[in-house]
Structure 1
Amino acid sequence: MALHRKRDSGLDDVFATPLSEKPLPKYRMPDGESRPESAYELVRAELLLDGNSAQNLATFTTTWSGDETRRLMADSLDKNLVDKDEYPQTAEIENRCVHILADLWNAPDHRGAMGCSTTGSSEAAMLGGLALKWRWRQRREREGKPADRPNLVCGPVQVCWEKFARYFDVELRQVPLEPGATGLRPHQLSHYVDENTIGVVAILGVTFTCDYEPVEKIAKALDAIQANTGLDVPIHVDAASGGFVAPFVQPDLVWDFRLERVASINASGHKYGLAPLGVGWAVWRQADLLPDDLVFRVSYLGGEMPTFALNFSRPGGEVIAQYYAFVRLGREGYRRIQQACLDAAAGLAERVARMGPFELLYDGRGALPAVSFTLRDASSPFSLYDLSDQLRMRGWQVPAYPLPPGREDTVIMRVLVRHGVSADETALLADDIRASVERLSKGAPPDSERQAFHH
């Protein structure tokens, strides 16, 4: 009866409804229903405890989207991307994106290239790795040789490649970093490549430092290995971030299908591709580089449509939003956005370098729009972990972490500059880094001396 009176009292404040009188359910679904606006506002209030995504300079993923993108996503909530017979135009848009990317990455015949969308770059990377394994195994079987010990050679890769190796029974030969290096170096390959190597992964935008690995030089090193040993080892380029940066602001950099040894490329549409979270891309140089055993065929407009993603049902909105970005921005729009990000990163790097205690590992020029640096003096009164904690008090999420094996004693800090992170915002970050350094250098003040935060 009391509940009935509350509902009829005319009081429509969300925080005075029955749902707000106790914590939201965590382990059991409630017995009754609630007003939609009440449930919405209370769940939304919990989400305010998350960090501000615009200040999350640890993530590569897109955190800003325009109203048109949001409307297209809302319009596409009911579109299941895998149902190509029911949503043929969404399937056509996915196909257009594949050919646009094949052209962007200089495939010899971009109309005949093979590819697909995925939920992200990690899934796309796994598809590229599976194709390498299948082709290697088929070749070994034709030659009458054992095919039970495949290995994949790489430098400091993202964890998705470790997952691929574990899930699909491939030895991951991760080459240690040399002193002063930020990624795999071509001369290292001869010590790791053998007849069981299914491929080499080259990174266009190393996760840890944001520098590019020298894909063209890696290809030449493999050419030399083939000339000396007969081993023909393909390259898969993990261009999770760089695949949407290099074509626009470093067009003369040769890293893509211009290199005959590059068999496949993965990239993340929801990183520097400027699409919302949930879309990646896998593209093969030509259709015969994707083994037919990995392709399933579904009915499509009375015919057949190949599908080879690991996921099945998934929303079509992210792919549609990606196509919208291609149409809306064009090459010049992407160039302007990525160049603005690079300029903001370079400006931040200059300010960080002038502060004194830091040594730049990557200055935001020539690769991804980012900055990575370490402490110059090992006897510094503070660590980069301390600095990261200080910056978090101001809302900034800037990670500090050790480099991969070979340089694991070096702790670095990395700042990513994405679409939506302006030069003004990076200037404010630089101010906060300087202020944090001053506080940490003097030692943390006692609680009584600390100023309360205020606007």
Structure 2
Amino acid sequence: MSLQRVITDDRDLQIAPLFAQRIDEDVIPKGRLAENPMPASVAAGIVRSRLLLDGRAALNLATFCTTAAEPELEQIYAETAPINLMNREEYPASSHIEQECINALANLWHEDDGSFVGCSTSGSSEAAMLAGLAMLRRWRERGGTGRPNMVFGTHVHVCWPKFCNFWDVEARMVPLAPGRTTLDPALTAEAVDENTIGVVAVLGSTQDGRYDPVAGIAAALDGVAAGRGVDVPLHVDAASGGFVAPFLDVDFAWDFALPRVVSINASGHKFGLVYPGSGWCLWRDPEYLPKSLIFDCNVLGGHHPTFTLNFSRPASGVIAQYYQFLRNGLAGYQLIAQRCQEVARQVAAGIRAIAPYEVLADGEDLPVVAFRLRDPEELGFTVYHLSEALKGDGWHVPAYSLPPDLEHVDVIRVVCRQGFTLDLAERFLESLLKHTERLASHPFPLPDVATALTFQD
């Protein structure tokens, strides 16, 4: 979660005249508890009024997360929110549903011999921490000495550098290159050594939605094992792609069908179609999840093995995932993924038709479109100006620079997830054209790159 500090604006929250007839006070304190209770309807009304300035989820093209659900699923969320998933003695049915979901994912990801082990998590960030810990502990228990390192591309999610920071693991980051925004197998093989606890391949970069060449990376690591005697496990961060590739890219090798892949994580709350707070982590065999990391917890009754960074957690995300598995099946997930990809292709085609833009990713892997301005200096505006301008029509699209060594490339990303229809895509393209023409006719003074602040400043 984001870190928060003391509130510098200590003015009380003005609630009159909206709630003047239902509560005696005209103001309520901000950043501290009020002296007295208030009616539930008033509290709910204040909460809703304070959220009015939040953006509209349907127009948020930045997030990979699910932002819409059917009424039946909304009801399931409400009914299962009080269930503590950790209390398996009191809620055995929820625990069995979790087990069924993990088995379904193991089957989807081609773990066919039944020796897998897995767990639900609060999301892929926690799953990444667990997978990283398993690789780190296994490396140590196999006699690893010196400072451990982990190899991944500069395009990985922030959770991987975070893992390395938290557990004092050297992050060996393989840079990108012009024309290549994925992890290079040859450079990966060069980066590993006897202290490498594992390599992370990404199935769907957050920058442009592209898949790392997982099979090529696995083959390169097989070559390292054969030639140098260094056996390095491969983890696949399939936060988004784990619920896309099995339905759109059935011939793309990335999962447990590759013997080098020892663990996979995915986010249920992205293309798994449930709300934020749902993730999964699976290991192909208990060999890759050291027993020393597993706790036998009996504080709630019974004995249950656990591997988690937290404890109490609502069962809603797991139950919602089970609902979506039942609701969609293989054919339903495939249809949704295909529709998302169709929208991405239409968005990419529409952007190509607007002269100043170059499309860098057109939804061929994840249904994500990334594009850049061909010549910001000549046009007199940047993608950052464009991102701000689009907010005027309600669209939230992120502008950012690509990772090293492509940090000089500034892009905008559009995530075409469920709920972003072809009609909405057409409205977005209309807004894009309108603001492009306006910005081009009223250019902004561009900052001098030499005097711009950097993170080091």
TM-score of the superposition, structure 1-length normalised? 0.91
Provide the rounded CA distance (Å) in 2 between the counterparts of 1:313 and 1:406. 41
The one-character-per-residue Cα deviations of 1:361-382 (angstroms, maximum 9, x if unpaired) are 11112x1111001111243321
Instruction: Tell me the equivalent position of 1:38.
Output: 42
Instruction: Tell me the equivalent position of 2:23.
Output: 18
Provide the rounded CA distance (Å) in 2 between the counterparts of 1:444 and 1:33. 53
Provide the rounded CA distance (Å) in 2 between the counterparts of 1:444 and 1:67. 46
> Is the partner of 1:421 in helix, strand or coil?
coil
Task: Note closer, same or farther for the CA distance 1:370–1:428 as it changes in structure 2 (3 Å cut).
Answer: same
Q: Quick one: which of 72, 78, 82 aligns to 1:78?
A: 82
For 1:73, give the aligned amino acid: Y
Instruction: Tell me the equivalent position of 1:136.
Output: 139
1:153 counterpart = 2:151: yes
> Is the partner of 1:16 in helix, strand or coil?
coil
Task: Note closer, same or farther for the CA distance 1:295–1:422 as it changes in structure 2 (3 Å cut).
Answer: same
Instruction: Tell me the equivalent position of 1:122.
Output: 125
Provide the rounded CA distance (Å) in 1 between the counterparts of 2:31 and 2:18. 26
Instruction: Tell me the equivalent position of 2:73.
Output: 69
For 2:133, give the aligned amino acid: L
Provide the rounded CA distance (Å) in 1 between the counterparts of 2:437 and 2:356. 11
Contact in 2 for aligned 1:375/1:384 (Cα 8 Å)? yes
Provide the rounded CA distance (Å) in 2 between the counterparts of 1:401 and 1:96. 39
Provide the rounded CA distance (Å) in 1 between the counterparts of 2:426 and 2:152. 36
Instruction: Tell me the equivalent position of 1:195.
Output: 194
For 2:375, give the aligned amino acid: D
For 1:371, give the aligned amino acid: V
User: CA offset at residue 301 of structure 1?
Assistant: 11
User: CA offset at residue 25 of structure 1?
Assistant: 2.6
User: CA offset at residue 444 of structure 1?
Assistant: 6.2
The one-character-per-residue Cα deviations of 1:195-215 (angstroms, maximum 9, x if unpaired) are 100110000001111111110
Instruction: Tell me the equivalent position of 2:454.
Output: none
Number of residues of Structure 1 aligned to a counterpart in Structure 2? 426
Instruction: Tell me the equivalent position of 2:241.
Output: 242
Provide the rounded CA distance (Å) in 2 between the counterparts of 1:120 and 1:19. 43
1:54 counterpart = 2:52: no
Task: Note closer, same or farther for the CA distance 1:212–1:15 as it changes in structure 2 (3 Å cut).
Answer: farther
> Is the partner of 1:252 in helix, strand or coil?
coil
TM-score of the superposition, structure 2-length normalised? 0.90
Instruction: Tell me the equivalent position of 2:92.
Output: 88
- What pairs up with 1:16-415 in 2 under 5 angstroms? 16-18=21-23, 21-22=26-27, 24-109=28-113, 111-140=114-143, 147-155=145-153, 156-299=155-298, 304-365=303-364, 367-379=365-377, 380-415=379-414
User: CA offset at residue 86 of structure 1?
Assistant: 0.9
For 1:131, give the aligned amino acid: A
User: CA offset at residue 434 of structure 1?
Assistant: 0.6
User: CA offset at residue 411 of structure 1?
Assistant: 0.5
Provide the rounded CA distance (Å) in 1 between the counterparts of 2:177 and 2:42. 57
Contact in 1 for aligned 2:380/2:443 (Cα 8 Å)? no
Contact in 1 for aligned 2:62/2:396 (Cα 8 Å)? yes
Provide the rounded CA distance (Å) in 2 between the counterparts of 1:248 and 1:190. 30
User: CA offset at residue 303 of structure 1?
Assistant: 6.0
**Identity in percent:** 48
The one-character-per-residue Cα deviations of 1:212-270 (angstroms, maximum 9, x if unpaired) are 11101111111112222111111000000000000011111110000000000000000
For 2:205, give the aligned amino acid: V
Provide the rounded CA distance (Å) in 1 between the counterparts of 2:174 and 2:267. 24
Contact in 1 for aligned 2:106/2:282 (Cα 8 Å)? yes
User: CA offset at residue 305 of structure 1?
Assistant: 2.6
Instruction: Name stretches of at least 5 consecutive residues in structure 2 with no aligned partner.
Output: 1-16, 445-457
Task: Note closer, same or farther for the CA distance 1:175–1:79 as it changes in structure 2 (3 Å cut).
Answer: same
Provide the rounded CA distance (Å) in 2 between the counterparts of 1:252 and 1:444. 47
Task: Note closer, same or farther for the CA distance 1:303–1:56 as it changes in structure 2 (3 Å cut).
Answer: same
The Cα RMSD (Å) is: 1.8
User: CA offset at residue 16 of structure 1?
Assistant: 3.0
The one-character-per-residue Cα deviations of 1:151-184 (angstroms, maximum 9, x if unpaired) are 0000021111111001111101111111211121
User: CA offset at residue 187 of structure 1?
Assistant: 1.4
Provide the rounded CA distance (Å) in 2 between the counterparts of 1:150 and 1:19. 62
Provide the rounded CA distance (Å) in 1 between the counterparts of 2:99 and 2:122. 15
User: CA offset at residue 15 of structure 1?
Assistant: 4.9
User: CA offset at residue 18 of structure 1?
Assistant: 2.6
> Is the partner of 1:344 in helix, strand or coil?
helix
For 1:275, give the aligned amino acid: V
> Is the partner of 2:142 in helix, strand or coil?
helix
The one-character-per-residue Cα deviations of 1:318-360 (angstroms, maximum 9, x if unpaired) are 1100111001110101011111001001100001011111111
Provide the rounded CA distance (Å) in 2 between the counterparts of 1:19 and 1:192. 67
1:441 counterpart = 2:440: yes
Instruction: Name stretches of at least 5 consecutive residues in structure 1 with no aligned partner.
Output: 1-11, 141-145, 446-455
Contact in 2 for aligned 1:399/1:413 (Cα 8 Å)? yes
